[in-house]
Amino acid sequence: MPYFKNFVGVLWFSLIIGNVNFTPGGLLRFVEATSSPSPKFICYFTSWSTNRTGPARFKISDIPSSACTHIVYSFAVLNSTSLTMDLSAEVDRALIDQVTTLRSNGTKVSVALGGWADSENGTKYSTMINHGHLRTNFVHESVKFLRRHGFDGIDLDFEYPTCWWGNCSTGPVTDKNNFANLIHELRAAYRFYGLLVSVAVAGDVEIVKLAYDMPRIARNVDWIGVMTYDLHSTLSGKTGHHSPYMGPHPNTVDSLDYWINQGDVPPSKLVMGIPLYGRSFTLKDTTVHGVGAPAGQGKAGSFTEEAGFLAYFEFCGAGWSHVEISGVGSYALRGDQWVSYNDVSLLEQKMKHVLQYRLGGVMVWALDLDDFNAQFCNQGRYPLITAMKNALSSSKNSTV
């Protein structure tokens, strides 16, 4: 009973000073009473996009450093032998030098370690994090790696502790605790050099439960990037939105609320993941094309060349029809090809959420997938990123 009386007193006081809010799901959540700093705008740069041909080829000069507070170079890999950070074979080291020169504009430049492809071999990541001496060596060598190449920090993207490649029966349960141990040890070492530590985490709550010690991670990182995309698989046999704001579960609000309400994570540490691409499907019957229509994996794009995946610039132009489902997402349709994506209207709604709930910001995957050079959409340069930046700037001081 004394605890309950204290809680009521704190709640009443909090209501008076205005630092308590309710999430969209109705759960109680405390927020900072003071004004929040400007949201981070974290931009992932993919090294392979510079190898494309024609109008889809991305150049360093295309990076909108004035829009990005942080740029994350993707990817470094984990060396299978030494279990330390390494550059993938196809990386042009001169490219790294070009990207890190953007630090002169005040933009921070980190490097992402892992990614979906490198996480396929979950064994090497699990081995490293589950042995103290290997973690110590990784931390030590990573400092040298970052300083040698001029990076401001590391972005950990092991997909995922315990749930390798999304399969939660593959990795040991010890991954969860020892991944948090690695992050704690990185923070202890990086603090001396002023280096950043961030982490990209799953958007699927079922994976989050098994993969992450949420409070410990939050204490030791500069931000947690929640990958609130790819939430509906193209292998499901039916169409669906892969990054819905609300609506079908899982969705963006569910993911963020779970970290806040179940993980006891400050909203200011959370960064909302935004896809600048769509997930594509091939309809079984072109006369049945709503959400949930029977479908298989979509055809590869002519530039991105990956089945089930299309850059925004590959479906924004002529020949595609577009259908918006308010509060959920949009889909584009051409013949038997169906693509779920986030349009400008939905992105503006997501930006309002970032501001209202005082999240740490947004991260976009990836720069080269928007119409970065205004060659395809007839919407100007970077139409999606521009819409998000404008939404964040116009309501910068918004409160709930």
What are the residue numbers of the active site? 159
The count of residues in the chain is 400
Place of tokens 């958007």: 203
Q: First vs last Cα of the chain: how many Å apart?
A: 31
**DSSP states of 224-251 as a string?**
EEEE----S-TTSSB---SS-SSSSSS-
> How are beta strands 153-157 and 108-114 bridged, if at all?
parallel
CA distance 189 to 43: 25
Residue among 229, 99, 93, 243 nearest 159 (CA): 229
Residue among 370, 367, 364, 365 nearest 311 (CA): 370
CA distance 274 to 365: 6
What residues does 323 pair with on adjacent strands? 331
Number of H helices, E strands in the chain: 11, 17
For residue 221, the Cα-to-chain-centroid distance in whole angstroms is: 15
